[in-house]
Amino acid sequence: MLIGTVKSDNLHADGSGNFVRSLNDLLAMQEGGLRLAAPAIGLDSTELLVRSGVSLELLGWTHSCHTDNFACGHCRGCSKHLAVMREVREISATRGD
């Protein structure tokens, strides 16, 4: 089983390496050999997006609002999303993507 979590998510217990390891150990005890992995846990959001190769056009449709179904533009999620998008655009422009 894969979960999506990045380096900054360690602000929350369920985004920490200890949580992922503990949950993996718990799942491994169950029949069926389930395993848990968080392959991006060591990356920040910008690194993950750059490595993923997701297009800026597709990313333009995304948001990460903590308060609404649409971007409010004021919450922590919206602020982080805007900052990450700026960083991804800058890297993309530097590379000539």
Domain boundaries, given as residue ranges, for the chain: 1-43, 45-97
Asked whether the predicted pLDDT for residue 97 surpasses 90, the reply is no
Residue type, 66: H
* Residues with Cβ within 8 Å of residue 94, at least 6 apart in sequence: none
How many of the other CB atoms lie within 10 Å of CB of 15? Answer: 18
pTM: 0.78
Count how many Cα atoms sit within 13 Å of the Cα of residue 78 in the half-sphere of its side chain: 11
In the prediction, which pLDDT does 41 show? 95
- In the chain, what's the furthest Cα-to-Cα distance? 49
In the prediction, which pLDDT does 27 show? 94
Query: 27 phi and psi, to 5 degrees?
Result: -65, -35
Give mean pLDDT, residues 9-32.
91
pLDDT in tens, 25-76: 999 998 888 999 999 999 999 999 999 999 999 999 999 999 999 999 999 9
